[in-house]
């Protein structure tokens, strides 16, 4: 059973922080320039306080997400388990996989981690964040299975 890297919690927190900071900057800008209107002033304060509370909530949830985030590659399926306060389990039949790719986001580059994207006919899934060796091994194992069942892989 594979597990994502511990640094993924920091990446998830940085992604949340970047979104919250954008909202905080817009709310601060509106608060500064439109502070003579009581409604705008109260709304901006609510957005600022709400953004901070959301960030704290998401940090707790990201820690729980790391705890439950696991994946298992069997002979004919890929099993992904993840979640924070509620845990979801996904079983992907390997014969349904159409495309596999490995990517690096802006924040994952800071920690040298990679995300594996798996696409089926009806959905897409991702496993992240893994170190380069583990991400490459997972991609190769999935592609080897697809080749063994006769799928034409053009890379």
* Model pLDDT, residue 21: 95
| pLDDT, tens only, 28-81 | 998 888 888 888 888 988 999 999 999 999 999 998 888 888 999 888 899 999
Q: Single out the residue in 66, 84, 99 at which a domain terminates.
A: 66
Q: How would you label 25-34 residue by residue, b for 16+ Cβ within 10 Å and e otherwise?
A: eebeebbeee
| pLDDT, tens only, 102-149 | 999 999 999 999 999 999 888 899 998 899 999 999 999 888 888 887
* Model pLDDT, residue 32: 87
Give the integer Cα–Cα distance in Å for 139 and 102. Answer: 8
Same domain, 45 and 90: no
Same domain, 49 and 93: no
Domain holding 42, by residue range, is: 2-66
User: Any idea which residue has 């509106």 for tokens?
Assistant: 30
Cis peptide before 129 (omega within 30 of 0): yes
What's the whole-model pTM score?
Answer: 0.82
Q: Single out the residue in 66, 88, 110 at which a domain terminates.
A: 66
| pLDDT, tens only, 67-84 | 888 999 888 899 999 887
* Model pLDDT, residue 154: 62
The domain that holds 76 is classified in CATH as: 2.30.29.30
For residue 1, pLDDT beyond 80:
no
Give domain status of residue 154, yes or no: no
Same domain, 141 and 74: yes
Give domain status of residue 30, yes or no: yes
CA 153 to chain centre: 27
Domain count, the chain: 2
Same domain, 54 and 98: no
Same domain, 60 and 76: no
* Model pLDDT, residue 85: 81
């Amino acid at each position: 059973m594979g597990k994502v890297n511990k640094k993924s919690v920091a990446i998830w927190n940085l992604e949340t922080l970047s979104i919250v900071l954008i909202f905080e900057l817009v709310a601060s800008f509106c608060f500064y320039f439109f502070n003579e209107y009581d409604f705008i002033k109260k709304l901006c304060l609510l957005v600022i306080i709400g953004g901070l509370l959301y960030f704290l909530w998401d940090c707790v949830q990201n820690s729980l997400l790391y705890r439950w985030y696991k994946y298992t590659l069997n002979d004919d399926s890929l099993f992904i388990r993840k979640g924070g306060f509620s845990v979801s389990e996904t079983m992907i039949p390997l014969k349904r996989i159409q495309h596999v790719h490995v990517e690096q986001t802006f924040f994952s580059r800071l920690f040298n981690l990679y995300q594996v994207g798996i696409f089926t006919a009806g959905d897409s899934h991702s496993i992240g964040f893994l170190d380069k060796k583990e991400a490459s091994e997972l991609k190769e194992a999935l592609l080897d299975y697809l080749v063994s069942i006769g799928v034409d892989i053009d890379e």
